[in-house]
Structure formats: C-alpha cells, structure tokens
Structure 1
Amino acid sequence: MKLLHIDTSIQATGSISREMSAATAERLKREIPGLDVQYRDLAVHPLPHLTARVFAALAQDMDTGDFSDAERNDAVESKKVLEDFMAADIVVLGVPLYNYSVPSTLRAWIDRIVVFGKTFRYGGPNQPIGLAAGKRVIVALARGGYYAEGSAAAQHEHAETYLRSVFSLVGINDVEFIIAEGVAVGPEFRETALRGALDTIQTLAA
C-alpha cells in the first residue's frame, strides 16, 4: 500500500499543518505494515504555474519536441505528479489556510492531478465522473482564526470547501479533515487546537 504525503506550509519550523500531517503519516505507518511512504514538500520544491502547452502535454500526451528545456522539464514533472497521485492508495495533505484559501503551491499541484480523461470525464452535461475513486484522502488543515460552520467568518473559508469540491470531481467524496482552529489567536489557543488535532489523529483507523 502506498501513501503520498504532501506539505504546503511556507513555514519550515513551527508549522501546525506540518506537525499534523507528519503525525498523521506516522500514525498510518504504525497501523499499516509495510506502508510505502512518498513525501513531497511543495514549499521547498514548488511546481510552476500551469501553462497551456504543458497542460496539453499532460492531458493529451502531446509531443514535446519543440518545447524549451524549462517546458519539457515541467511536462515531465507534471506527468510524474499525476502518476504519483494515481499510484497512491492514501494521500495526506498538510494545508494551512492562507488568505481564506489554500496555498498557491497546492493549487499548482491540483492543476496537475485534475485532468480531463485522466482523473475525470463527463457522462453528460454537468455530470462529471471521477476516475480516481477508492483513494483515501486526509487533510490536516490549520486555520489561524475560527471558520467552522456557524461562525461569523464561515463564509470566508475556501480551503475545506474547495478541497472537498475538487476531490469530489475526481471521484473522492469522503475526504477526511483534521482541523486545528484559532492557532493564531494566542499561545494557549494554539496549544489547545494542536493538542486536540493530535489526539484526533491518534484515533485514525487504518
């Protein structure tokens, strides 16, 4: 069984989402004998913004003979990102809420895995059919404030809502979220939120 572990926080140290995602991966390694873990840090090794030519090469297996070296390298890396995602049985994402949404590096990664004909197709008008069903996706999400449903800022939460929508498009409808909220309110709130999230992680089933 393969686990794809991805971090996205720009903080190299002191990151709540990194601590949560690492704890999640470790928990699963203990529960699943022989789990093969692949790790990618999108803050350290970000993908470039997707271009039309690279997207065509990814979606249509287009010849890259006339590409520049940078475009060719991007096309090769984009194909690998898609292959790694499709090969994974479990995906663990460490995600901080930035400006009400996900980090741009994560969006660049998502642009490589949401590909018509590869991870989804249409069965009719506005009827997408996901081709990546069966994967388990766990998102370790850290939010500086309070954005849960019913809170005053709930309307500004575009990380959990976006990720649920985009993974649903590729056939993954039961994304698991482990959320630490209020981590920027103060040290006590940060510690309480992190402790609660880590406790939840220790109850994760294999």
Structure 2
Amino acid sequence: MPKLLHVACSPRADSESAAGARAFLDQFNKVRPDWEIDALNLWRERLPEFEGDVLEAKYARIGGRAFSNAQRDAFAAAERLALRLSLADRVLISTPMWNFSIPYKLKQWLDLIIQPGLSFRFDPAQGYLPLLKDRPTLVIIASGSDFVTGMNRGRIDMATPYLREALRFIGISDVRFVPIGPTAGPTEPAHAAREAAHRRLVDMAVRF
C-alpha cells in the first residue's frame, strides 16, 4: 500500500497550518482512498533529546566505532524516525513559522534524522551524498506576515530556504511550498489568504 507521511508541526489542532493540511488531505483521500496516511505529530511523538547516548552514537558512527548497548538503544529512536520518512512515497509537512524560521520540534526532528548512515554519507572524494530517494514533498508554511504578495512587514522568511536545503541534503529535491499568510492582523486579508491557499492545496492534492 502506498504511503503518505504527514509531519504535523503545530501544537495547535486548529492552527492555520493544520487547517491547510486538512484541506489537502481531505481531497487527497478522495482521489487516493487506497493510500495509507502515516500521521507524525511532532508534539505527541516522543522525540529524544539530541544529547547523551544519541549524540555519542553519532560520533561513534562517524569514527567507525561500534555502538555501546546504551548508544544502540538510544540511536534506535532516530533510526525509526528516519525509516518512517524513507518508507513514505509522498511527504506532507505542515508547519507554522516561528520567529522567522521553523518550530524547535521540527528542527529537532530534522536533527535526529539527518544522521550519517541514515540519510546521508560522506565520501572523501565526492563529499556529502544523500541516501534517501527523491519523492514528491509538499510543505505548508503558515505565517503571520504575507510572503505571497511581498507585504511581509519587514520580516524575513528563513524557513523556506532552510527546509529546502535540509531536505535536498538528504535526497529530497522535489519540494513544493504553499505559504498561508497573513494569518494575523485584519480579518479580510487573513481570510482571503486562507481561502486562496486552500484552493491551491485542494487542486494540488488531485495531482500530488
């Protein structure tokens, strides 16, 4: 059964990014009822802190040393997260923009899965090489400012280029971004932005 991995990055069930994801998934389920949706809520999933045995396991792997039992058990959590991504035929990431970039939970997930031997490797002659196969990936980013028309109130979008590069580094280059914003301020512009983004997401779900 083909699988779509949905990485949900907002702590609010009624957030704008979550609403955009629901609009997309409702249509996706209609046109592809045989697909499995693997829902990964980063606020409900137990993500290990990237310290202690997990961190030491990373350096053991880089140095070509065998894991201790504690390192093996700790690193298994990162391996399971990377495997869920590896097994997905399609990926949906829905996230708010926090302080110009991404929520710390999304950064923690990326820090855990972007590991040597899991999602990339290093070759002395060729440099860093991705280990994951490319797959269509959609990123929904909801922000208080408007990054669609350029009326961003002086704020800078560092989330989009960071996510594009982090995903490319591990092999995922077929990435499309759908911004939703402004989500703050006067009601009319926020409503119009939401409706426009949802129409685009529903249309994309048919072809995704």
TM-score category (smaller protein): 0.7 to 0.9
Q: Please tell me the residue identity of whatever aligns with 2:69.
A: G
Aligned-pair identity in percent equals 23
The answer to whether the Cα contact below 8 Å between 2:100 and 2:155 also exists between their aligned partners in 1 is: no
Once the two structures are TM-superposed, the CA of residue 4 in structure 1 deviates from its matched residue by: 0.6
> In structure 2, what is the equivalent of residue 139 of structure 1?
139
Is the aligned partner of 1:11 residue 2:15?
no
Once the two structures are TM-superposed, the CA of residue 130 in structure 1 deviates from its matched residue by: 1.9
Once the two structures are TM-superposed, the CA of residue 85 in structure 1 deviates from its matched residue by: 0.7
Once the two structures are TM-superposed, the CA of residue 153 in structure 1 deviates from its matched residue by: 5.5
Which runs of 5 or more residues in structure 1 are unaligned? none
> In structure 1, what is the equivalent of residue 105 of structure 2?
105
Indicate the larger mover: 104-113 or 26-35: 26-35
1:66 & 1:97 partners in 2: Cα distance? 35
Cα distance 1:55–1:98, how it changes in 2: closer, same or farther (>3 A)? same
> In structure 2, what is the equivalent of residue 121 of structure 1?
121
Which runs of 5 or more residues in structure 2 are unaligned? none
Equivalent residues in 2 for 1:42-81 (5 A)? 42-45=42-45, 47-51=47-51, 53-57=53-57, 60=61, 63-66=67-70, 72=73, 74-81=74-81
Cα distance 1:175–1:114, how it changes in 2: closer, same or farther (>3 A)? same
Deviation >6 Å, runs of 4+: none
Aligned residues: 201
User: What does the per-residue CA deviation read over 1:141-199, in whole Å, with 9 as the maximum and x for residues that have no partner?
Assistant: 10101235855667721111100010110111221111111111222222111111110
Once the two structures are TM-superposed, the CA of residue 140 in structure 1 deviates from its matched residue by: 1.0
Q: Please tell me the residue identity of whatever aligns with 1:139.
A: V
User: What does the per-residue CA deviation read over 1:31-74, in whole Å, with 9 as the maximum and x for residues that have no partner?
Assistant: 2241011102112335243125314546849545246xxx94x5
2:171 & 2:100 partners in 1: Cα distance? 25
Cα distance 1:117–1:66, how it changes in 2: closer, same or farther (>3 A)? closer
2:66 & 2:142 partners in 1: Cα distance? 39
Q: Please tell me the residue identity of whatever aligns with 2:20.
A: M
SS at match of 1:162: helix
TM-score normalized by the length of structure 2: 0.84
2:109 & 2:194 partners in 1: Cα distance? 26
Cα distance 1:112–1:149, how it changes in 2: closer, same or farther (>3 A)? farther
Q: Please tell me the residue identity of whatever aligns with 2:164.
A: R
The answer to whether the Cα contact below 8 Å between 2:134 and 2:174 also exists between their aligned partners in 1 is: no
The answer to whether the Cα contact below 8 Å between 2:7 and 2:94 also exists between their aligned partners in 1 is: yes
The answer to whether the Cα contact below 8 Å between 1:58 and 1:79 also exists between their aligned partners in 2 is: no
SS at match of 1:117: coil
The answer to whether the Cα contact below 8 Å between 1:148 and 1:154 also exists between their aligned partners in 2 is: no
TM-score normalized by the length of structure 1: 0.84
Indicate the larger mover: 112-121 or 193-202: 112-121
